[in-house]
Structure 1
Amino acid sequence: MSQSRPVTAFGPDFPFAYDDWLAHPAGLGSIPEKCHGQAVAVIGAGAAGIIAGHELMKMGLRPVIYESGKFGGRLRSELFEGTEDVIAELGGMRFPVSSRAFYHYVDALGLTTRPFPNPLTAAAGSTVIDLEGETHFARGLGDLPQLYHEVAFAYRAALEEHADFSALTQAVRDRDAHRLKAIWDPLVEKWDERTFYDFVVSSQAFRNLSFRHREVFGQVGFGTGGWDSDFPNSMLEILRVNLLELDDHQRYVVGGVENVLHRLWRQPAACAHWPQGTTLAQLNGGATLGRAVKIGRNAGGGLTITDLWGVSRDYAAVLVTCQSHLLTTSVAVDEALFDQKLWMALDRTRYMQAAKTFVMVDRPFWNDIDPATGRPLLSMTLTDRHTRGTYFFDNGPDRPAVICLSYSWMTDALKVLPYGPEKRVELALSALERVYPGVDIRQHIRGNPICVSWESDENFLGAFKGALPGHYRYNHRMYGHFMQATMPSEQRGIFLAGDGISWTPAWVEGAVQTALNAVWGIMTHLGGASSADNPGPGDLWADLGPVALPD
């Protein structure tokens, strides 16, 4: 065993090494020549859809992409007007280095990443924590009062007490799948029906502390900010974040993460069947189709998709990557395509709200030193005020910069839902002026603000899944749906992917891994297979698949 081995997003529910599968010279697999050139539909041009489409193209299929809104899905990098590269990351913005399957594509495309300016990190420079009107300035955890150290120690102790966390982490480092499952699988039954808050308050370490300690933990959390909005969630969801270091060592993509998908869309690849230099964009005539409004079985046994203009097209298989609620609100799906237990899971999936408010400023003025304190004028800020998290993005000393004035979830996000951008900015500035009296942010603002509330977007109805206690069985049904050999014939050929189908909602690695599951599923549905030297996720499912809980 080696502590030096990195933690990666390996399991824990299904410990399959997706990065190794991607990197193997044998490739992901192949399909029979008779299937070359066949059209398969991909609904959604987000991370799962574009990555799956790219890999299916390499196998010799013709992925046809449908997109009802904006290319990129929740990898949405919005340019400020009048600029070429000053952006607001409205969706995913910070990507842990443990996300090895995602970084497979980032690195292959030659994109640059930098450390994300999270609280108490060198990338942030400095952090201000403002709770109940009391403000603390820090460059690292060591600068905070003893109470914060006690909270951090208590949570680490709770992880050891309840989850044998050191042993779990070592199994992930070692990629010891069977040892990992031996520890993890019993935790599934123990913690599926218990909340994050229950985990905290039932631990011996937190029982010895005050309510104030739990309150601070909810506001400041264990990494990138407050986690009280996740207190009602199943603890399994939080354990996965901790174990796979999804909240640690995060980076951002310079120029915008949406570029990952735009680049992949136009990236030539070595393909079976297609001419050298073929791209996904070329196979789609340079643009996606519009909204898919209907999915049904056709007389030939394949699947038919009808778009918003009433045009119907037939496909050998369909991959659905949109949020699951859209399958009952936006897309008319033949009910027989999914088992009723799967419909229950898709419908019961609970999505969390999230809101962000960005402004562009003339320069990174927050780095100016206040002569009275010797500190930067502004710092990355965590607060119980409705801004919750404020982040600063420096593009260089003489260039426009960006402030994420507010990043909030759930109730805090709903507080601003009825308001337009100007009102949201005004509320955020009013809150920050109380934390930084005398600092005039307003004079530096340029252009128009950029805001998002994902729950108000008809193409999403929420930012990301937040599993409630008792939802493990639902997640198991959705995640394992790509294994179709034992399904009735009328349910085969339609596949699911996206971070909401994964065990790790809100993280792009979950979208990538489920996309690769679906690629394996479509390949085998069409009579193909992975190489014996590089078995795919379905080939190892019987041995490593997630533990099943009784209905």
Structure 2
Amino acid sequence: MLVPDFPFSYDRWLSHPAGLGSLPPAMHGTEVAVIGGGMSGLTAAYELLRLGISPVLYEAEQLGGRMRSLPFPGNPEYKAEMGAMRFPIAARSLFHYIDLLGLPTRPFPNPLAQGTPSTLIDLNGDRDRARTTEELPGVYQEVADAWDKALQERADLATLRDAIQRRDVTTLKTVWNSLVKEFDDQSFYGFLATSPTFQSFRHREIFGQVGFGTGGWDTDFPNSVLEILRVVVTEADDHQVGIVGGSSQVPNGLWEHRPETLAHWPRGTSLSSLHGGRPRPAVTRLRRTADGVRVTDESGEEREFPAVIFTPHVWTLLNRIDCDPALLSTPLWTAVERTHYMGASKLFVLADRPFWRDADPATGQDMMSMTLTDRMPRGVYLFDDGPDRPGVMCLSYTWNDDSLKFATLSAEERLETLLTKLGAIYPDVDIRSHIIGGPLTVTWETEPRFMGAFKNNLPGHYRYQRRLFTQFMQDGMDPEQRGFFLCGDDVSWTAGFAEGAVTTALNAVWGVLRHLGGTTHPDNPGPGDLFDIHAPLELPYD
């Protein structure tokens, strides 16, 4: 996912034999706070450990963050992916760690994906089943063609993708920066409605409900079209896989992993061993000091650190943590306040077997399919490990307004509602009789330490995002503003993707390395060393 705003090759920086850099020996063992034990926090802590730093990890709930694989009670080998569950193979920095941990993957059953047995589209009361787009009624191909033409004619998609494949930074930034200037103030829906190929409202409605790649796009309609174009040009919405055994194995694996190459620490040291097996509890207070940042946790313990990496959703700086206003500059606080989060809800059950693969005696087709619908469930995903083993069913995956429809319902009420709605789509299928576990459910906007699934910028928010992303570059800041580093997928240009959590964590690692007097190897410059070449476009403010 070579993001065009900042097309630095993090995967190459990670894999280079020279490593990420080195510290002066006198700084080895220096304690640096890492707040948040999700994918970003574990990435940062793991790489700080390898550099010879002593990361002190704080986590309010459980390791993993939104890489949350919840086991079914009584059947813990089966997991419900409450957060991240599908990962594009273009996410090469994330896969650096997946491969490091030796975790197997398998194709994710997205609608009409090659490995998906079948897809059923339930729209405006009509139902169509297919394995490929070509098998759907002609209007769906019209919509697919309209989307492709809009991307080629208005966003120069072919040129951008070719530049990404060749890692041609000059071409990529030239084309992308012109798109930023043109479309920063335009919503996704506005982009569609002003495209000559999408003049039909029916086409826009079908595209919003069904979409292509991972499914419908209408919950993104109010967001900046730049957010969508980033996903498309990096192919983040295509060629996706799931992690066998659950996505939480990645952050938890980094917690336990013993790096082969370590500065300062004895062989066999892990993050877990440094922490006695558990991280510090939730942070409740942050204060600037003459020499760094003082961190107070909910046990009442205070520690002072020369540097702090902050990885949770930035809104927690506004309401969950008592923050010193001097922690960030006023423009950065404004960017934090303006961050816009997407909501999301899911509900999973465990079935006795993958009964959905049974042949319908009337049609010969599967009893159920991966389902896209304009009704309340919106997206249904089916996972199986063979005909004689239980299967996991995600009976609903929804976003924003559709997610809020579930927010006030208990897990049991959600299940009853979904079974009723799905009964109208599959009147001859008795889903309830096959359920042996669950329901397991989440609504991310009501999770108190998340307040949303991920960031998604509204039109005009590019300038705020640039401030957050570039905050790791601190040489030009006043000295009292340095040493506190923001990262996480909501700081990245591609929020909602674990790749963004990883890459912004690596930005923060570079920032801490420089802050403590360290350097990168001349043969392996880091993101800050090449910042001027890759820097995001700076739009005028006045």
Class of the TM-score when normalised by the shorter of the 2 chains = over 0.9
Alignment of 1:498 onto 2:488: yes
Match among 139, 147, 168 for residue 176 of structure 1: 168
SS at match of 2:528: helix
Q: Is 1:479 matched with 2:490?
A: no
Query: What does 1:402-413 correspond to in 2, within 5 Å?
Result: 402-413=392-403
Query: Which of 136, 148, 153 matches 2:140?
Result: 148
1:355-374 CA deviation, whole Å, 9 max, x = no partner? 00100110111000011100
Residue 226 of structure 2 corresponds to residue 233 of structure 1: no
Residues 120-146 of structure 1, C-alpha deviation per residue, up to 9 Å, x if partnerless?
123220000000110001011111000
Question: Is the aligned partner of 1:469 residue 2:459?
Answer: yes
Aligned to 1:197: 189
Of residues 246, 254, 265 in structure 2, which corresponds to 1:264? 254
How far, CA to CA, are the matches of 2:258 and 2:420 in structure 1? Answer: 49
Tell me if 1:117 matches 2:109. Answer: yes
Listed one character per residue, the Cα deviations across residues 155-195 of structure 1 (whole Å, up to 9, x for unaligned) are 11001121111111111111000110010011111111101
Confirm or deny that 1:31 pairs with 2:7: no
Distance 2:380 2:204 in 1: 22
Q: 1:40, CA displacement in angstroms?
A: 0.4
Deviation at 1:438, TM superposition (A): 1.1
Matched to 1:295, the amino acid is: L
Alignment match, 2:391: 401
1:406 is paired with a residue whose SS is strand
Could you tell me which amino acid in structure 1 is paired with residue 503 of structure 2? Q
Overall identity of the aligned pairs, in %: 52
State the distance in 2 between where 1:448 and 1:168 align: 44
| Residue 284, structure 1, aligned to residue 275, structure 2 | yes
2:264 corresponds to which of 267, 273, 278? 273
Task: Compute the displacement of 1:515 (Å).
Answer: 0.4
Q: Specify the alignment match of 2:516 in structure 1.
A: 526
CA distance in 2, matches of 1:271, 1:473: 38
Quote how far apart the aligned CAs of 1:227 are: 0.7
CA contact (8 A) 1:119 1:381 kept: yes
Q: Which runs of 4+ in 1 moved over 2 A?
A: none
Cα deviation, 1:307-356, whole Å, max 9, x if unaligned, reads 01211011121000010110010011111121100000011101111000
User: What is the alpha-carbon root mean square deviation over aligned residues?
Assistant: 0.8
Counterpart among 82, 92, 95 of residue 74 in structure 2: 82
Instruction: Give the distance between the partners of 1:425 and 1:308, measured in 2 at CA.
Output: 36
Deviation of residue 298 (structure 1)?
2.4
Name the residue aligned to 1:428.
Answer: 418
Looking at structure 1, the residues matched to 3 and 516 of structure 2 have their Cα atoms a distance apart, in angstroms, of 27
> 1:536 & 1:214 partners in 2: Cα distance?
42
For 1:493, the aligned partner's letter is G
What is the distance in 2 between the residues matched to 1:229 and 1:121?
21
Counterparts of 1:327-342 in structure 2, within 5 Å, are 327-342=317-332
TM-score normalised by L of structure 2: 0.99
The equivalent of 2:96 in structure 1 is 104
- Residues of 1 paired with 2:416 and 2:348: CA distance? 12
- Distance in 2 (CA, whole Å) between partners of 1:123 and 1:394 is 12
The equivalent of 1:167 in structure 2 is 159
- Given that 1:161 and 1:203 are in contact with CA atoms closer than 8 Å, whether structure 2 keeps it comes out as no
Tell me the distance in 2 between the aligned counterparts of 1:187 and 1:140.
Answer: 32
Q: Is the 8 A contact 2:112 2:119 kept in 1?
A: yes
Give the partner amino acid of 1:194. Answer: Q
Conserved in 1, the CA contact under 8 Å of 2:348 and 2:438? Answer: no
Distance 2:515 2:540 in 1: 28
Amino acid at match of 1:449: P
Matched, 1:357 2:325: no
Match of 2:535 among 535, 545, 549: 545
The TM-score with structure 1 as length reference comes to: 0.97
CA contact (8 A) 2:93 2:499 kept: yes
Deviation at 1:450, TM superposition (A): 0.1
The residue type equivalent to 1:206 in the other structure is F
Aligned to 2:11: 19
Contact 1:27 1:534 in 2 (8 A): yes
Q: Does 1:382 align with 2:387?
A: no
Deviation at 1:108, TM superposition (A): 1.0
- Show CA shifts across 1:61-80 (max 9, x none): 01111111121000000000
Give the match's secondary structure for 2:401.
helix
- Structure 1: runs of 5 or more not aligned: 1-8
Alignment partner, residue 333 of structure 2: 343
Deviation string, structure 1 residues 230-271 (Cα, Å, up to 9, x no partner)? 000001000000000000000000000100111111111121
1:275-320: CA deviation from partner (whole Å, max 9, x where unpaired): 0111011111110111101111224x12110001211011121000
Structure 1 residue identity aligned to 2:418:
A
